[in-house]
Amino acid sequence: MTKKNSIYTLQFWLLCLSNFLFSASFQMMIPELPDYLASMGGKEYIGYIIALFTLTAGISRPFSGKLTDTIGRVPIMAFGSVVCFICGGIYPLVSGVATFLFLRFIHGMSTGTKPTATSAYVADIIPEDRRGEAQGMLGIFTATGMSMGPTIGGYLTELFSINTMFYTSSSFALLSILILVNMKETLPKEQKQPFSLKLFKIGWVDVFEPRVIPTFLVMLLVSFSSGVILTLIPDQTKMLGMSNKGIFFTVYTIASLVVRMFFAKSSDKYGRIPVLIISSVLLAVAMLILGYANNFTALMLASILFGFSWGFNTPTLTAWTVDLSDERYRGRAMATMYIALEAGIGIGAVVAGKLYQGKVENLPYSYIIAAVLSLVSLVYLVILRKNQKKHLAA
């Protein structure tokens, strides 16, 4: 009984609550930003809304990984929330396309830091045989924030103004910081170093953890689809006559919550690779449906399948990354996985923006590419699974 309750400590619940607020903070503005940028005359740059955000997040990863493993998990988590808090309050002051895009670039540091430190923190306090379950539980709070964020943002913008939405986003980030204030640091004392500028000196060894190449490749391939969705769904929902552009994000996140709640232990029980194989199949199907969705029902079906896929995908890839990593370099390992996430999303967003060009007939192309990449992930996982079985048999 002690073992079962060991992951549900006060620290764990505080971390979950902070993640809920943090994810809701940056996610609530996503559906509204394309129109906001277009109102400034930057319609042709909508692909950069996500691409610049993920670019900075990716650039931040090696630094956040190294700092997480040296100065501590909690300070890096707090820094990510601080960036969200500040940026949320600056958006209403922006009036030019270039300034807006620069702010998106800076805002990306938030997701380039907090998730890296959070994943390392969870790995520190969770028993090895329950990592998948713990990541699933943490993911429930994260996904709930991501689910509620777009809908809250949509209603705030519709009922009040987009500036009200931005200030609410900033407030959520502030609350996520306050929760972290009294959290106990988990970085071992022998690893801890005082903060200094020399810690920002990054070599290749700080950028990439070779032990987690399998999770890096899978994440890179499947996250392309998220970049496509974040770029195209706001316009696609408008084309289908839906006034709230956040509904797709809400439905897919609820679907991912269902998976996390009822199948949180699946990768601990059946293995990481089998669960990821299922996820890749669901993702490919969702992308193909989205490419040709011409009514509300098709869009919602794709949203549900996409949610199911990521409900399996995210906690399993995170747990697998921890499995493969050296415990001394968990921050670096997590950073490597998240670099793949940001790179995939950023590439997907740029490709989708370039192919779409505001023309409805161009919508299927990006989704088809995303489906193909999901199938490439599937093939890679099947090969890994076969090699794994051969190794065990030997």
Evaluate whether residue 95 is within a structural domain: yes
pLDDT for res 252: 85
Q: Output the six-digit token pair for 336.
A: 């490597």
- 197 in a structural domain: no
Say if pTM beats, i.e. exceeds, 0.85.
no
In a domain, 196, yes or no: no
- Residue 80 domain-assigned (yes or no): yes
CA dihedral 113, 101, 144, 131 (to 10 degrees): -30
pLDDT by residue for the chain (394 residues), tens only, comes to 334 455 678 888 888 999 999 999 988 988 889 889 988 988 888 878 878 888 888 888 788 888 888 888 899 999 999 999 999 999 999 989 999 999 999 999 998 888 888 888 887 888 777 777 777 788 788 878 877 888 888 889 989 999 999 999 999 999 998 988 878 888 888 888 887 777 777 766 667 788 899 999 999 999 999 999 988 888 888 888 776 667 788 888 788 888 877 776 788 888 889 999 999 999 999 999 999 888 889 999 999 999 999 889 888 998 899 888 877 777 788 888 888 988 898 899 889 988 987 788 888 999 999 999 999 999 999 999 888 777 666 5
Residue 345 in domain: yes
Q: Residue 393: what pLDDT?
A: 63
Decide if 195 is inside a domain: no
Q: What are the tens digits of pLDDT across the range 154-207?
A: 889 989 999 999 999 999 999 998 988 878 888 888 888 887 777 777 766 667
CA–CA gap between residue 16 and residue 121 (Å, rounded): 11
pLDDT value of residue 1: 34
252 in a structural domain: yes
User: Do the Cβ atoms of 247 and 152 come closer than 8 Å?
Assistant: no
- Who's near 179: CB < 8 A, 6+ residues apart? 14, 17, 18, 21
- Domain containing 56 equals 2-186+205-393
Q: Judge whether 76 and 121 are in contact, CB under 8 Å.
A: no
SS3 content of the chain, % helix, strand, coil (to 5): 85, 0, 15
pLDDT value of position 25: 94
Establish if 191 belongs to a structural domain.
no
Q: How far is CA 8 from CA 119, 187, 350, 374, in A?
A: 16, 19, 40, 34
CATH code for position 70 = 1.20.1250.20
The answer to whether residues 129 and 265 touch, using CB atoms and an 8 Å cutoff, is no
Q: How many residues does the chain have?
A: 394
Condensed to tens digits (0 to 9), the pLDDT of residues 138-156 reads 878 887 887 788 888 888 9
The pLDDT value given to residue 24: 93
Half-sphere exposure of 223 (CA within 13 A, CB side): 23
Instruction: Please count the structural domains in the chain.
Output: 1
What is the rounded distance in angstroms from the CA atom of residue 117 to the CA atom of residue 57? 13
